[in-house]
Amino acid sequence: MRKFNLHSGMQGAAFTVRVTPRARKTAFAGFLEDGTVRIRVASPPVEGKANDALLEFLARVLGVRRSRMEIVAGERGLDKLVSVHDMTATEAQARIQAWMERESGDEEARLG
């Protein structure tokens, strides 16, 4: 699995995300060469709906309340910096990788 960049800040982990709105379903879509996490969201980029969908998805993946997350930068663009309070970068990375492995296993089971 490709390494992605998470950083431990004063209050928790932070990582960069590239969002693709209006996707068929909300899911991880891989990584960019610089370690940015690619996520497709089903919601349109209208009135913050795509941002809300992104944070709800990440809260579910990371097992935290949505109120413990925020978009620190890039609220109006496709590239965002997301902060997760009270979680280390190592813990966030492990949870994201575990989710992605489960999802790829589920996809293989559906195809196989």
Q: Where are the domains of the chain?
A: 6-103
User: Residues in the chain with pLDDT < 50?
Assistant: none
Q: What's the whole-number average pLDDT of the chain? A: 87
* Residue 99: predicted pLDDT: 93
Please check whether residue 76 is in contact with residue 82, taking contact to mean a CB–CB distance below 8 angstroms.
no
Q: Which two tokens stand for residue 90?
A: 């190592």
Give the residue carrying structure tokens 């620190």.
Answer: 72
CATH class of domain segment(s) 6-103: alpha beta
Reported as half-sphere exposure (CB side, CA atoms, 13 A), residue 80 has a value of: 27
